[in-house]
Chains A and B, each alone.
Chain A
Amino acid sequence: MSLFSTWRELRQKGIMGINERNADFVLRYNQRHLYPLVDDKILTKKKAIDNGIHVPPMYGIVDSEKQIGNFRQLIQDHRDFVIKPAQGAGGDGIMVIADQFEGYYRTTGGRLISAEDIEFHLSGVLSGIYSLGGHRDRALIEYRVIPDPIFSAISFEGVPDIRIIVLKGYPVLAMLRLPTRQSGGKANLHQGAIGVGVDLATGITLDGTWLNKKIQTHPDTTNPVRGVQLPYWEGFMSLATRCYELTGLGYIGVDMVLDKDLGPLMLELNARPGLNIQIANDTGLAARCRQVEAEIERLEQKGIKRAAASKRQKFCQTRFANPECAALAAQRAEEARLLEEQERKQREAEMPIVDAGVKVQVKTPPDGKG
């Protein structure tokens, strides 16, 4: 295939290139002075809390050498917690403590470390070894997210997260990121995690992408990634949609996780979200963004400056719905209804209840280390 025809076909599909993203979206919709809001996780979190967006609860901030010694007071009520550099990038400098044992702390890897080790880590964070520019940083101590076991079937280890691209408050494209053995438990596509497209309307997964290729199964578990119903999908969508009001940035990637107890939580925002989400969804980002821009223009002509978050979400969910997923969702709903009916009949027949076994909607009890 000639490069020219590749070019043309990509254009026809509305695939967004880096140049287009930078010039037409990032530079155009994201004002520079708003960047600190997404670059500093503490600022993002505070802002999110003020706006009623669910985030992992914050236990405390360490912003001076003096406070390092006090970190034990910050976590005295919690057995497990996470230490993050406020301006870290790419997951560097994140320390996850899963448990405590006789004054020692157990990391997710099972290693026992002392309080001094943690204090040393904190002082490293403060001196800026994890922040990109190398300038002084703050450390954030927060709730440890325990991923909902729904993902255990299609995920290897680590915490899978959900990325939704939001243009001017309209969620345009969603992806589930699953860590792999290669990515070392990090949900970062560059490091070898897989991305799985998600239907905006139903929250049912599509095919995936791994190292720029298209895949149907998880490389470690070999389970098919397609057709999984993500729980609380409406919650994720509304969370992402409302993040526009939070920052004022017009083109962001919202990263969220599903905690087994707290439900959908917003983790962080990204002002330059990557483009591989297009391969995961087999859809052009530019094509969808253009539809959203047309809608915004249409509303502006009608005199509506900014549509309500629920309306924006509804627009995207109807406009970008995947018919296959809709059919699947309808079929599953029908199955569930039949099952329920059957159960009711069984109950009516005063039979003892056994586990219904609906794979996708039932939460299994946590088993400690995930």
Chain B
Amino acid sequence: MKGVKLHVRVLAIVLMLIGAASTAWQIFALNIPVSADTEEPVWVIDTRISFTARPKNPIKVQMYLPPSWSKFITLDESFVARNYGVNIDDLEHNRTAVWSARRADGQQQLFYRLMLTQRSNTRFTNEEPGPQFRESPDLQGVEKVAVEALLKPIREHSADIETFIREAIKLINNTDNDNARLLLRNDYSQINKSRVLELLLSSAHIPVEQVHTVRLASGVSQSPELWMRSYNGQRWLYFNPETGSFGMPKDRIVWWTGSEPMVKVDGGHHLKVEINSTQQTVNSITLAQSIQEARDGNSWALSMYSLPLQSQQTFEIILMIPIGVMLILVLRNIIGIETLGTFTPVLIGLAFRETQVLWGIIMFSSISALGLGLRSYLEHLHLQLLSRLSVVLTFVVIVMALISVLGHQLGLDRGLSIALFPMVILTMSIERLSIVWEERGGLHSMKVGFGTLVAATLSHLMMSYSPWIYFVFTFPGILLVFMAFMLALGHYRGYRFSELLRFKALIKDGN
């Protein structure tokens, strides 16, 4: 006996740990939301490429796409273009899409839509290392002198790559500096500045790279902003050649790296690129689902959601049954409420889904009362059990049909929902109730019937409480925790609450 107790205890603890661990893994490691109501922002970036095609020429459009190492998780991307084929290529640091068509005429429009979450992409933060050394370019004459003159104060004022870059940007942006002006040839445009910055840094053997970024902001049409980055041996340093500010702001996404333009068109002209971003809110669980899909693998994490929709709806109900069962267990073994059958209240509670609680109770009570009347009449006829049950069941069906017809004519559509009331369960309830009535009297059977209704109502309320439905459906591991609880209750030896009242007489006299 002791061995069994220990066995149960160990089993319960193991089940609970597995269940809790799987739930915790889903919540904390996979960031699956605990509640169905949480919403999160997602960004939708629409890129529109328009150009005029040269007639009778094959067309090839190459566009850079945000790379896979982006810190944002891509939920969805789509390419829309009529009569074009699309290919996506992974380059070293970039990704490109190539639209191609044999021939096209007139104004062409290509769309690229990207959906991103702002959730940090913890899985992809391992950055690829970049180059750390670079051959200095071969400079001639004045330029060489100017570069060397600029590098000298920068070297003196800097300690590492970061500060070096800062100093360099400061000097280039300084319009009073003659050396800088000479290198820039008086052209203070952004592209030119970054070219000179690259020249300066490469002369100091510091490799830099241009990165083109897009801001996640609602409602404004924008063009990619130029940033630069350099690898310092541990991480990429991002900086703005214009302002000299360091570190990529949180609302910027890297689109591509390198000095090439975003879109190149062969066989077309009048190229125009428009980028628009908008913010939307998306239900967190939908989001988590999309992320799962995007990551592929890990298909167990949201296993229930991968079922066909119809099965999902069924399982939303089925997975709640253990909660109802657990409630019955508590009501019967700890509180001591008497119910008909063991799990009959759960089944009646399920039937309440269709009828709503109040109607369900009214209908259950009235049909049971009528059925009991019939049953007691049949008692006199000395029928065999099976034919008696069949008669009662048919009677129940007739009463249900009558209620539906009557309800419909009175304009109460609630009456129709009763059709889904489980007839067999009702019949068995009537049979059991009448046995209880005969064996233990009317008062007791009322008590049992009332207990059944209370248990059915409670279990219905618990089984249809939507936050719980969501939770159980999303984290089915919790069922193992329930199982552990049920196992533990199997060895519960304490008094039922009702027994404390039942045996009260024993105490009054004892004192």
Q: Does residue A39 face the partner (Cβ distance < 8 Å to B)?
A: no
- Say whether B507 contacts A1, CB under 8 Å: yes
Q: Does residue B438 face the partner (Cβ distance < 8 Å to A)?
A: yes
- Say whether B333 contacts A19, CB under 8 Å: yes
Q: Does residue A3 face the partner (Cβ distance < 8 Å to B)?
A: yes
Q: Interface residues of A toward B: which range?
A: 20 to 34
- Say whether A129 contacts B382, CB under 8 Å: yes
Residues from chain A with Cβ under 8 Å of B444 in the complex? 190
- Say whether B384 contacts A127, CB under 8 Å: yes
Residues from chain B with Cβ under 8 Å of A20 in the complex? 493-494
- Say whether A120 contacts B382, CB under 8 Å: yes
**A285 smallest CB distance to B (angstroms):** 11
Q: Does residue A213 face the partner (Cβ distance < 8 Å to B)?
A: yes
Bound-complex Cα distance A20 to B493 (A): 5
- Of B196-204, B340-348, B497-505, the one with at least 4 CB within 8 A of chain A: B497-505
Residues from chain A with Cβ under 8 Å of B491 in the complex? 23
Q: Does residue B509 face the partner (Cβ distance < 8 Å to A)?
A: yes
- Say whether A6 contacts B500, CB under 8 Å: yes
Do A129 and B500 contact each other (CB < 8 Å), given the known contacts A278-B506, A279-B506?
Answer: no
- Say whether B495 contacts A129, CB under 8 Å: no
Report which of B382, B388, B506 forms a contact with A15, defined as CB distance below 8 A. B506
Q: Does residue A353 face the partner (Cβ distance < 8 Å to B)?
A: no
| Chain A, 97-112, CB within 8 A of any chain B CB | none
Q: Does residue A335 face the partner (Cβ distance < 8 Å to B)?
A: no
Q: Does residue B296 face the partner (Cβ distance < 8 Å to A)?
A: no
Q: Does residue B133 face the partner (Cβ distance < 8 Å to A)?
A: no
Residues from chain B with Cβ under 8 Å of A192 in the complex? 441
Residue of A with least CB distance to B504: A6
Residue of A with least CB distance to B435: A132
Q: Does residue A24 face the partner (Cβ distance < 8 Å to B)?
A: yes
Residue of A with least CB distance to B489: A19
Report which of B383, B441, B494 forms a contact with A129, defined as CB distance below 8 A. B383
| Chain A, 117-157, CB within 8 A of any chain B CB | 120, 124, 127-129, 134
Bound-complex Cα distance A23 to B439 (A): 25
- Say whether A10 contacts B440, CB under 8 Å: no
**A11 smallest CB distance to B (angstroms):** 8
The listed residue with most B CB atoms (<10 A of its CB), out of A3, A10, A13, A124, is A10
- Say whether B383 contacts A92, CB under 8 Å: no
| Chain A, 19-42, CB within 8 A of any chain B CB | 19-20, 23-24, 28
Q: Does residue B385 face the partner (Cβ distance < 8 Å to A)?
A: yes
Do A213 and B493 contact each other (CB < 8 Å), given the known contacts A3-B500, A18-B499?
Answer: no
- Say whether A279 contacts B1, CB under 8 Å: no
Residue of B with least CB distance to A2: B500
Bound-complex Cα distance A120 to B384 (A): 12
Map CB proximity to B onto A213-255 as digits: 1 under 8 Å, 0 otherwise. Answer: 1100000000000000000000000000000000000000000
**B209 smallest CB distance to A (angstroms):** 73
Residue of B with least CB distance to A192: B441
Q: Does residue A69 face the partner (Cβ distance < 8 Å to B)?
A: no
Report which of B1, B438, B507 forms a contact with A92, defined as CB distance below 8 A. B438
Report which of B385, B439, B441, B502 forms a contact with A212, defined as CB distance below 8 A. B502
Residues from chain A with Cβ under 8 Å of B333 in the complex? 19
Residue of A with least CB distance to B379: A129
- Say whether A90 contacts B439, CB under 8 Å: yes
- Say whether B507 contacts A190, CB under 8 Å: no
Bound-complex Cα distance A129 to B388 (A): 10
Residues from chain B with Cβ under 8 Å of A127 in the complex? 384-385
Q: Does residue B496 face the partner (Cβ distance < 8 Å to A)?
A: yes
Number of chain B residues close to chain A: CB under 8 A = 32
Report which of A7, A128, A209 forms a contact with B500, defined as CB distance below 8 A. A7
Residues from chain B with Cβ under 8 Å of A67 in the complex? none
Bound-complex Cα distance A148 to B504 (A): 34
Q: Does residue A89 face the partner (Cβ distance < 8 Å to B)?
A: yes
Bound-complex Cα distance A24 to B490 (A): 11
Residues from chain B with Cβ under 8 Å of A17 in the complex? 493-496, 499
Q: Does residue B297 face the partner (Cβ distance < 8 Å to A)?
A: no
Bound-complex Cα distance A23 to B333 (A): 11
Residues from chain B with Cβ under 8 Å of A213 in the complex? 505
Residues from chain B with Cβ under 8 Å of A322 in the complex? none
Q: Does residue B510 face the partner (Cβ distance < 8 Å to A)?
A: yes
Residue of A with least CB distance to B491: A23
Residues from chain A with Cβ under 8 Å of B505 in the complex? 209, 212-214, 279
**A25 smallest CB distance to B (angstroms):** 11
Residues from chain B with Cβ under 8 Å of A279 in the complex? 503, 505-506
Q: Does residue A63 face the partner (Cβ distance < 8 Å to B)?
A: no
Q: Does residue B124 face the partner (Cβ distance < 8 Å to A)?
A: no
Residue of A with least CB distance to B388: A129
Residues from chain B with Cβ under 8 Å of A13 in the complex? 506-507, 510
| Chain B, 389-447, CB within 8 A of any chain A CB | 438-441, 444
Q: Does residue B29 face the partner (Cβ distance < 8 Å to A)?
A: no
**B110 smallest CB distance to A (angstroms):** 73
Bound-complex Cα distance A127 to B490 (A): 37
Q: Does residue B6 face the partner (Cβ distance < 8 Å to A)?
A: no
Q: Does residue B362 face the partner (Cβ distance < 8 Å to A)?
A: no
**A175 smallest CB distance to B (angstroms):** 14
Map CB proximity to A onto B1-39 as digits: 1 under 8 Å, 0 otherwise. Answer: 100000000000000000000000000000000000000
Residues from chain B with Cβ under 8 Å of A134 in the complex? 385-386
Q: Does residue B465 face the partner (Cβ distance < 8 Å to A)?
A: no
Bound-complex Cα distance A131 to B386 (A): 13
Q: Does residue A9 face the partner (Cβ distance < 8 Å to B)?
A: yes
Residue of B with least CB distance to A212: B502
Residue of A with least CB distance to B507: A9
- Say whether A10 contacts B439, CB under 8 Å: no
Do A19 and B510 contact each other (CB < 8 Å), given the known contacts A89-B439, A124-B382?
Answer: no
Residues from chain A with Cβ under 8 Å of B336 in the complex? 18
Do A190 and B495 contact each other (CB < 8 Å), given the known contacts A9-B507, A214-B505?
Answer: no
Residue of A with least CB distance to B382: A124
Residues from chain A with Cβ under 8 Å of B388 in the complex? 129
Having A3-B500, A214-B505, one finds 9 other A-B pairs with CB under 8 Å, namely: A7-B500, A10-B506, A23-B491, A90-B438, A129-B384, A190-B440, A209-B505, A212-B505, A279-B506
User: What are 5 inter-chain pairs, A to B, with CB distance below 8 A?
Assistant: A19-B333, A19-B493, A90-B439, A129-B385, A282-B509
Residues on B facing A (Cβ under 8 Å): 1, 333, 336, 382-386, 388, 438-441, 444, 490-497, 499-500, 502-507, 509-510
List the 4 closest pairs (A to B, CB-CB), nearest first. Answer: A134-B385, A17-B495, A90-B439, A20-B493
Residues on A facing B (Cβ under 8 Å): 1, 3, 6-7, 9-10, 13, 15, 17-20, 23-24, 28, 89-90, 92, 120, 124, 127-129, 134, 190-192, 209, 212-214, 278-279, 282
